[in-house]
Structure 1
Amino acid sequence: MYIKVKRFIDIILSFIGLIILSPIFLILIVAIKLDSKGPVLFKQKRVGIHKTHFNILKFRTMKINTPKDTPTHLLRNPDQYITRVGKFLRKTSLDELPQIWNIFVGQMSIIGPRPALWNQYDLIAERDKYGANDIRPGLTGWAQINGRDELPIEVKAKLDGEYVEKLSLGMDIKCFFGTIINVLKSDGVVEGGTGSISKSEVASSRESISK
């Protein structure tokens, strides 16, 4: 039952977001075009509900010569590829704003597991164990407020499964406000590596957020 309510909430909030944030979209579009050559939007094939594929939308934060279909944290010296405006967009998570359209058309949800790259087979396989591939991926989710880029794949997938198990309005509200806090603190963003947070630190973080 909540899945239908969740989709209705996604449609309403994403529609409102597209209207209210349109001036910010315009400012960012101009800034990106003035900063570097290339398109304003970055499209990348990601895994959606039931492991279908879709193109996720982001504001472009990297130069056009960046290797494709490679997570940023797996690039050697990723800073060399990130534009000046891109650094600001990533730090503030404003690069994710175009995904409001992905939400509006039903490819994503506001809250859910972050969509894996089509070639992140290990993460996709781990999520299969918990049924995390059978719901719409999200703009943010339970794993994002419990470690984000720092999480090892098996821990990230387990947290995604925990979200699926506890799927409810209360859980979504907790993820939403937890995301706002993390963005303000710039927590969990790792450009050059992954898996640097220990499982004990993850457990500690989850315990503090759950209180």
Structure 2
Amino acid sequence: MIRLFDVLFASLGLVFGFPVLLLIYVLGLFDTGSPLFRQERVGRHQKPFILVKFRTMTVDTASVASHLASSASITRLGAFLRKSKLDELPQLWNVLKGEMSLVGPRPGLFNQQELTAARASCGVFEVRPGITGLAQVSNIDMSTPQLLAETDQRMIRELTLVHYFKYILMTVLGKGAGDRVRSSL
């Protein structure tokens, strides 16, 4: 049932959100010259997939978890996109392709071994990763791997259609700060 809602909402989001996607893409061309950001992430059953987002950091930023990146790397447009969570919109394509769900554990990077191990021990890789979930609306990010894995496990165990819609609504309304970025000194 959740997959059906994923496909429906991702399709509607891409169709009706196309003007916004196009506008952000064009603004991104002026901002960084490369508006889309692609990064290999750990997917369901620990299989790799390419996550697509709008770029929020300079092109030369190292490919690390957000909490390890410097805030000096975030562009002005990127700061707005992160705050409004509009940088996540291209992931609707990942949802349509079946690589992600709207609600699930945020996919980590392969170089985050501690997070990957914690999630593996909690059975988190049995489900599709998501754009948002319990950890995101609770301000738990990848800087606390064990807590994140346990929160993801709890979300998976307790996920109902009511929770699915609740997490989406909370995200749209701005609950949760998203992944933290280290302040530059």
Aligned match of 1:98? 90
8 Å CA contact retained: 1:33, 1:40: yes
- 1:32·1:85 contact (CA, 8 Å) conserved in 2? yes
Q: Map residues 142-181 of structure 1 onto 2, 5 A cutoff.
A: 142-149=134-141, 152-181=144-173
TM-score, normalisation: structure 2: 0.92
1:20-169 equivalence runs, <5 A: 20-37=16-33, 39-68=34-63, 70-75=64-69, 78-149=70-141, 152-169=144-161
Once residues 98 and 148 of structure 1 are traced to their aligned partners in structure 2, the CA distance between those partners, rounded to angstroms, is: 22
Runs of 4+ in 1 over 6 A off after TM superposition: none
- Alpha-carbon deviation of 1:163? 1.0
Q: Secondary structure at the match of 2:71?
A: helix
What is the CA RMSD across the aligned residues, in angstroms? Answer: 1.7
Counterpart CA distance in 1 for 2:179 and 2:115 is 18
Unaligned runs of 5+ in 1: 194-211
- Which string of whole-angstrom CA distances, capped at 9 and with x for unpartnered residues, describes residues 39-82 of structure 1? 221000101111100000000111111112x112213xx12211
Q: 1:150 to 1:114 in 2, by over 3 A?
A: closer
**Could you tell me how far 1:188 is from its partner in structure 2?**
5.3
Paired with 2:50 and 2:60, the residues of 1 have a C-alpha distance of 19
Letter in 2 for 1:93: K
CA contact (8 A) 1:115 1:137 kept: yes
**In structure 1, distance between residues paired with 2:164 and 2:42:** 21
Match of 2:3 among 7, 10, 14: 7
> Which amino acid counterpart does residue 34 of structure 1 have in structure 2?
F
Give percent identity, aligned residues only.
38
CA distance in 2, matches of 1:164, 1:186: 19
2:177: which partner in 1?
187
Q: Distance in 2 between matches of 1:168 and 1:101?
A: 23
Instruction: Say how many residue pairs are matched.
Output: 183
Deviation at 1:129, TM superposition (A): 2.1
TM-score (norm 1): 0.81
SS at match of 1:65: coil
Shift of 1:108: 0.1
State how far apart, in whole Å, the 1-side matches of 2:31 and 2:178 are.
26
Cα deviation, 1:173-198, whole Å, max 9, x if unaligned, reads 221222233x2x563552117xxxxx
